[in-house]
Amino acid sequence: MRLLGLLLAAALLPLLPQAAEPAGDGRRSGLADMGAATQAMQRDDSRNPGMLWVLQGEQAWSRPAGRTSGSCAGCHGDARQSMRGVAARYPAFDAALGRAVDLRQRIALCRQRLQPAAPEPAESEAALALEAFVAHQSRGLPLAPPADARLEAPRERGRALFGQRMGQLDLGCSDCHDALAGRRLGGSPIPQAHPTGYPIYRLEWQGLGSLQRRLRACLAGVRAEPFDWGATEWVELELYLAWRARGLPLETPAVRP
Amino acid sequence: MARSLITLPVSVPRGQVFTVRVLLQHPMEGGFRVGADGRVLPRDIVRRFRCLYDGEAVIEAELFPAIAANPFLEFSVRAADSGSLLFVWEGDHGFYQREQRSVVVT
């Protein structure tokens, strides 16, 4: 019966409204579970440390690099128009690679193919800054995962991963983030795990970090060995998470404890 | 060059008190943590912050190792004359950053 439900959900996927989600379905951003101080820090751009990276990304946007001495702005122009809504659609399918890529990988591919320049290493300040700047342009827009048939199989693998128990603690993502969301784990609130604010500024990290870094922390938390950096499993999980959070507004750069 | 985010009003009526917020990107490494190689990470903090309003100091702050990364400060200034606000951060390993913003007093 559950399998039938899953199949039905998968079949209905392209028909689902892309922009607005019916209000009051219980889904909420992790921001709602945070303390008042953290919320205030995120909401005020003059206090949000993530804005420092957005600022850095803005500078990188128009800086020439690579053999062609091209910059992002050279092709894409004003990011406020050209990048508006882009982050809300990622991860998306890359036809040349034949697989789904997330926003950071997409930016790296753009750099590699067109500038061409060596891509910034994952999780480096430069990569995070550019990703934060691009994602920031979609702030306030609802997450709108594309209705692309090629994304269905990896998204379903991501869904399976989300429910799969792993590690020495034998826990799956859904054991906490579906079943116990809103409650507490060792004093910290358990959010519903909607990736609405990445890259996020985490007070614990004292810096900006990607969704992949956050997911690694959860995997290490259940004492499982995290997948390699850039492994396809991460993007599959991100695909499912984006679909799960569809309709929720983007908050980049979010602040979390 | 570290980055900073300075927020202040573009123009203020004379005599009014206005708020200035400064956020500086800095690791504020306290000198007590151990790195991946087992060695203690050397201290690297901002030690002093100053704000000068037309050359006159309106705030001076000393910063210490227990302050989190990317230190944020908020303070109030009374608008006297149109002029410039100079922000200076100094720290370990010769860290020095200055930024200037102008304020119009109406």
Q: What are the tens digits of pLDDT across the range A69-86?
A: 889 999 999 999 999 999
Answer yes or no: is A19 within a domain: no
pTM for the model stands at 0.88
Fold of B1-33+42-48+66-80: Immunoglobulin-like (2.60.40)
Q: What are the tens digits of pLDDT across the range A221-236?
A: 999 999 998 899 999 9
Find the domain containing A139 and state its range: 29-256
Q: Under an 8 A CB cutoff, do B72 and A49 touch?
A: yes
Chain A residues with CB-CB distance to B7 below 8 A:
45-46
Q: How many domains does chain A have?
A: 1
Q: What is the pLDDT at residue A7?
A: 46
B54 phi, psi to nearest 5 deg: 50, 45
- The domain limits of chain B are 1-33+42-48+66-80
Nearest CB neighbour to A52, from listed B21, B23, B68: B23
Nearest CB neighbour to B70, from listed A46, A49, A56: A49
Weakest mean pLDDT among A10-19, A161-170, B28-37: A10-19
SS3 for A82-97, per residue?
HCCCCHHHCCEEECCC
Weakest mean pLDDT among A3-12, A144-153, A211-220: A3-12
Answer yes or no: is A2 within a domain: no
Smallest CA-to-CA distance from A204 within A181, A192, A221, A226 is with A221
How would you label A35-51 residue by residue, b for 16+ Cβ within 10 Å and e otherwise?
Answer: eeebeebbeebbbbbbb
Q: Under an 8 A CB cutoff, do B23 and A46 touch?
A: yes
Q: Answer yes or no: A72 catalytic.
A: no
Whether the ipTM is more than 0.85: the answer is yes
Answer yes or no: is A14 within a domain: no
Work out the average pLDDT over B39-59. 95
Answer yes or no: is A107 within a domain: yes
Q: Under an 8 A CB cutoff, do B23 and A56 touch?
A: no
Burial of A248 (C-beta count, 10 Å sphere; 0-12/13-18/19+): buried
Q: What is the pLDDT at residue A207?
A: 93
Answer yes or no: is A16 within a domain: no
Answer yes or no: is A121 within a domain: yes
pLDDT averaged over every residue in chain A: 89
Q: What is the pLDDT at residue B2?
A: 67
Bridging pattern class, strands B95-105 and B11-12: parallel
Answer yes or no: is A20 within a domain: no
Percentage above 70 pLDDT, chain A? 91
How many beta-carbon contacts under 8 Å exist across A and B? 33
CATH number assigned to the domain comprising residue A133 = 1.10.760.10
Q: Under an 8 A CB cutoff, do A46 and B3 touch?
A: no
Q: What are the tens digits of pLDDT across the range B4-19?
A: 999 999 999 999 999 9
For chain A, say whether B42 makes contact (Cβ under 8 Å): no
Q: What are the tens digits of pLDDT across the range A14-33?
A: 433 333 333 468 899 999 98
Q: What are the tens digits of pLDDT across the range A100-121?
A: 999 999 999 999 998 888 888 8
Answer yes or no: is A152 within a domain: yes
Q: What is the pLDDT at residue B1?
A: 54
